[in-house]
Amino acid sequence: MIEEKQTDVNIALHAYRDAVRGNCDQLVICSNDSDLEPALRLVKAEKSQLPHNVPTKKKPASKPSHW
């Protein structure tokens, strides 16, 4: 019998929680475990959006409404 240690579940939950709470600027996960994919998709959906206006040295760049 193979014992499931739930390491992948713990990594996924901690990554999602940290991303949603804004406790990190970047997550780097190196794994060949495809069980992490659903959680990483959620992190990407929640945290990979630019703010509406991105400051620049000149006029702020605005995010298009269709994004």
Check if the beta carbon of residue 63 is closer than 8 Å to that of residue 51. Answer: yes
Tens digits of residue pLDDT in 21-46: 989 888 888 888 888 888 888 877 77
Q: What pLDDT, on a 0 to 100 scale, did the predictor assign at position 2?
A: 60
Q: What is the mean pLDDT of residues 41-65?
A: 81
Q: DSSP E strands: which ranges in 1-67?
A: 53-54, 61-62
Four-CA torsion 6, 11, 15, 17, nearest 10 degrees: 40
Parse the chain into domains and list their residue ranges. 7-62
Instruction: Read off the pLDDT band of 50 (50, 70, 90).
Output: low
What's the whole-model pTM score?
0.56
